[in-house]
Structure 1
Amino acid sequence: MTMPKQDTNTNANTNTNTMRALQALENGNSSVRLQAALAVGTTPDPRCIDRLVERCAVEPEFLVRDMLTWALTRHSAAMTVPVLLQELRSERAQARSQALHTLSKIGDRQAWPALTRELLTDADDEVARTAWRAAIVLVPEEEEPELAGVLATQLGRGGRETQLSLSRSLIALGEVIVPMLRAAMTPDAVPHVRHHAIATERLLRDPDAGFEFAIEEAKRIVVLGTTGPEASEEPEES
């Protein structure tokens, strides 16, 4: 007759530890919050999922957010994915971004339909960049050309970091992106879009080329008035 009592004590201890960890997620010290997220992930409890997702939306420290994502991946995808999909409709940019990041880490392709054009072209650069990365992980092979078409509409967007993110996502799709890049490389294209498209094609052909070098080379190509693969070749000496 002692076993049920021991089970009750164990459950009580677990409940207490879970509650303490969830409370610690609100602590003003980021190290405490980090340890709390680690504790929740080490001993997964479905009751923590909602709170973890809520905290992702407001957590200011990158390392803690990453640990929160890890803790969520330790739970059943069947339970976490529906909650994360709801976050994609949040008005808070960080909530959308972190939910997308976590979905990419979980890797459940049932989430693919939720990666809408609206998210892939989100006005917030960080949300859009995270959506691009998630899309590359979750896209079914037959949907890759359509995804490439949407991503190509973002060529020339933002600063170097955003453009590099887009280039990497496009390149991950492989040769399917070539027609879209060539369409953006025509002389009548907007200059910064054309530069980005040429640089991305260069990186597709030569993955070891640095992005800054590829952009500068793209500018040189535009000045020379050429866009084909031969444009990046040095002129022969006469």
Structure 2
Amino acid sequence: MLIGEVARRSGVSARMLRHYESLGLVRPTGRTGVGYREYSGEDIRRIFHIESLRSLGLSLREVGRALDDPGFTPSALVDDLIRRTRERIAAETELLTRLRRIDAAGPADWADVLQVVALLHALGSESAGRRQRAALSTVEEDTVPVEALVEAILSESDPNVAGALRWALARSGDGGLALLAEGLRAPAAEVRRRAVQAVAEVPDGQATVLLKDALASADIVVRRHAALALGARGVADAVPTLVDMVVAEANDVDAADALSALASDPALTERIATRLVDRLADRAVGSSARRRLTQALADIPGATASRALAELSHDEDRAVALTAAYVLKLRDAR
């Protein structure tokens, strides 16, 4: 079969077939009387083998080795191809994400495009200072898509930069809440915790809904962040988790302050006092936790808290009794 017919049947151009011949990948086994290349059936099968291996991403050098080296084993090369393909996909995915971010910003001209690109690069900088400046500048520029801010928040490990990013996101409105909701369900604990901190700073009713959902999270840190934020918003659902935080000595001072703020609502006063008293009566609660619960009762108004403190002032645990007596004196002095 002559080269022209081989090209038509194989889909490989005559020019590429000559290139393969120059590299020694496939050589026509015969020549016509006038010197034209003539390919045998075996030559054509080899051409198809070459094309098949090229479709996997092998270079022509690797194709030649695979076909001609009797000792060649494909496992190492396939593993390398997998690695290279993953790297290529990651790079293409990153490019696609960047293009979507630019498109979401709605640039009016190429100057806007360049501005967005510069800010996106700054948000991804290795310098924490540069990332922080970029985060703060997004408020003034008002051109970086909310999606880019959320992505930066969920990946940011520096607390100062993270704070600036959350502030910028909170000022941008509630557009990032859907993405933050995904972050709350992320497999990585750090991503979930960054997400709940960001949601806590968004002053929006939908953010409160997300925080309520976060109270049921399997991640205890997420639950605690959500409880503190909900306590500041006057949401009663946070009470059980806040009391548990006092017992566990996990941000217990902040939790006690949140309980005090919630107890200023007459509708919640007795509920909070009763919850604290019930935990004080729990035999599984240790001495130091009982002292913290007693201190938490200090700022809870109402008769239930006062009666509990009077009884606790005679508690068999001297530390608890002294704490309760001191708290009663403070209450009486008010």
| Fold similarity call, TM over 0.5 | yes
> Does 2:136 correspond to 1:38?
yes
Counterpart residue identity of residue 252, structure 2: Q
> Does 2:108 correspond to 1:13?
no
CA distance, structure 2, for counterparts of residue 232 and residue 87 of structure 1: 42
Map 1:12-161 onto structure 2 (within 5 A): 12-45=110-143, 48-77=145-174, 79-114=175-210, 115-116=212-213, 117-119=215-217, 122-124=219-221, 127-138=222-233, 140=235, 144=236, 146-158=237-249
CA distance, structure 1, for counterparts of residue 326 and residue 281 of structure 2: 13
Deviates more, 1:16-25 or 1:85-94: 85-94
| Structure 2 spans left out of the alignment, 5+ residues | 1-105, 264-268, 302-311, 330-334
The counterpart of 2:256, out of the listed 167, 172, 196, is 167
Counterpart residue identity of residue 131, structure 1: A
Counterpart residue identity of residue 180, structure 1: R
| Higher alpha-carbon Rg | 2
Q: Contact (CA 8 Å) 1:87, 1:95: kept in 2 or not?
A: yes
Distance 1:200 1:122, change over 3 A: farther
Aligned pairs, number: 204
Counterpart residue identity of residue 28, structure 1: E
What CA RMSD, in Å, does the superposition of the two structures yield over aligned residues? 3.2
| Structure 1 spans left out of the alignment, 5+ residues | 1-7, 206-216
CA distance, structure 1, for counterparts of residue 243 and residue 196 of structure 2: 20
Distance 1:110 1:94, change over 3 A: same
* C-alpha deviation, 1:11, in angstroms: 2.8
Higher relative contact order (CA 8 A, sep 6+): 1
Tell me the TM-score normalised to structure 1 length: 0.71
**1:33-79 per-position Cα deviation (integer Å, ceiling 9, x unaligned):** 1111112222223x6222211221221211111111122123231x2
Q: Aligned to 1:90, what secondary structure does the other structure show?
A: coil
CA distance, structure 2, for counterparts of residue 147 and residue 27 of structure 1: 38
CA distance, structure 2, for counterparts of residue 227 and residue 147 of structure 1: 29
Distance 1:222 1:69, change over 3 A: same
Counterpart residue identity of residue 296, structure 2: T
* C-alpha deviation, 1:225, in angstroms: 6.6
Tell me the TM-score normalised to structure 2 length: 0.53
CA distance, structure 1, for counterparts of residue 128 and residue 194 of structure 2: 18
